[in-house]
Amino acid sequence: MVAASYVYTGDSDFARSFMVLLDNHKPVCQVDICNAVKDELNEYYPSSAGDYIIRILMNTHDKKIRPFQVSSLQTCLEYFFRFTEIEQIIAQPEADNKAYNELLVKAGFSFEDAIYSQYSVSNLYTCTRQNFRDALSNDDIR
């Protein structure tokens, strides 16, 4: 999956890949972010300027979400929302991936809808800059 991610983002003019490290040496997850207008998800969910898609590959086989995983994703969201062009971040985990769905909710995403493609059923989650800031200031997350 990591190799496929690098192929996707490697020569891309609209996607970037990041490795999140714990204590500067232990990989926690890989996070890819891309412009939603140029992504294949745009076929199922109409995107607009300011929409970006995040894909997360966690370094775990556990089905339980740990607090440092949530904090890692929230740190990524804080970083990405510093870029003025990013207004909303969209995530699309497979519907049956309970851990990934749980991680997104705990990090501040809101469920929008189920998406049915020819290969799978996915859930669509969104997190706007303003909703994320509001949640942080209200201590709804963290």
Band the pLDDT of 28: cuts 50, 70, 90. Answer: confident
Spatial contact of 74 and 81, defined as CB atoms under 8 Å apart: no
E strand map for 6-87: 15-22, 26-35, 51-58
| pLDDT tens, position by position, 30-65 | 888 998 888 777 777 788 889 999 998 876 666 778
Per residue in 100-126, pLDDT (tens digit) is: 999 999 999 999 999 997 788 999 999
Which CATH class for the 2-137 domain?
Answer: alpha beta
Question: What local confidence, expressed as pLDDT, does residue 6 receive?
Answer: 45
Alpha helices (H) along the chain? 2-10, 67-80, 98-107, 129-137
Q: Where are the domains of the chain?
A: 2-137
